[in-house]
Amino acid sequence: MAERVIQFGRHPLSLDRPQVMGILNVTPDSFSDGGQLLQGGGLDCQSLLRRAEAMVTAGATILDVGGESTRPGAESVSVQQELDRVVPAVEIIASELDVVISVDSSSPQVMTEAAKAGCGMLNDVRALERDGAVQAAAETGLPICLMHMQGQPDSMQNDPRYFDVMSEVADYLKARADVCIDAGVDRSRILLDPGFGFGKTLQHNLQLLNRLSQLARLGYPLLVGASRKSMIGQVLNRTVDERLYGSLATAVLAVANGAWVIRVHDVAATCDAVNMAVAVVNETGE
């Protein structure tokens, strides 16, 4: 049987095994690693490259670069600020490392410029709902991840409510995928993300993870990002820097329930956990 792949720019990735995505936030205020890759108000190029190299060495096949924090209560940044953070980061990584670069952005301008700079994937927490985003993303020809979020980052956790979180998330993601297909995006280039922590209570998050296989039935590859999130802190009563083991548990459960991309801060430990989960799911050590 031929190997199933998705082409991310010049990089093919196999659909036959899960991929680990390392998080590279070039922001001052992301909830876990904000400010670590900035210096004097600008991008710390050496720190960025060292972090990227370490993640690739540890097993990450995708690096997700974000220039705007979307943590609960986060303030928006201007398009120019985001461009100034993201585009140089993409250029540096693309020139030095053989890895898929994803850009975590909702801005059409950032998507367009990041594609020119060498990114291979677009990852939008707003599922391309901003004016012009669907067309901009379609024109890049790159794979796109569409995420579910109820509300906006500055208010999404105020009082999230659902009649049925599973069906509402599934219906929203399918509808956004249909919009992209109608705009000329090939179905094979669409990924879906249920959006853990984005307008959801703890119970909503736990239900989504437990029943993730229901979303997999939509027929699109799934991306899961639960690394270090508050759902883990709430269950285990751990601070952000104490959530590794909880994050690994969510990664294993996500793989067992059909996730294809696991988006994380701790790449090496997650790769071990994912590889072990894959061996059990496939009943093979290969």
- Residues marked as catalytic: 229, 263
Nearest to 123 by CA among 32, 55, 209, 222: 222
**Bridge partners of residue 51, in order along the sequence:** none
Q: CB-based contacts of 145: which residues, under 8 Å, 6+ apart?
A: 102, 121, 122, 123, 124, 190, 191, 192, 193, 223, 261
Do 285 and 279 form a contact (C-beta atoms < 8 A)?
A: yes
Q: CA-to-CA distance for 151 and 236, rounded, in angstroms?
A: 26
Burial 249-266 (b: 16+ CB within 10 A, else e): bbbbbbbebbbbbbbbbb
CA 236 to chain CA mean position, Å: 23
The vertex-30 CA angle with 24 and 36, nearest 5°, equals: 55
DSSP string, 194-260: --TTSS--HHHHHHHHHTHHHHHTTSS-BEE--TT-HHHHHHHT--GGG-HHHHHHHHHHHHHTT-S
Nearest to 120 by CA among 145, 84, 96: 145
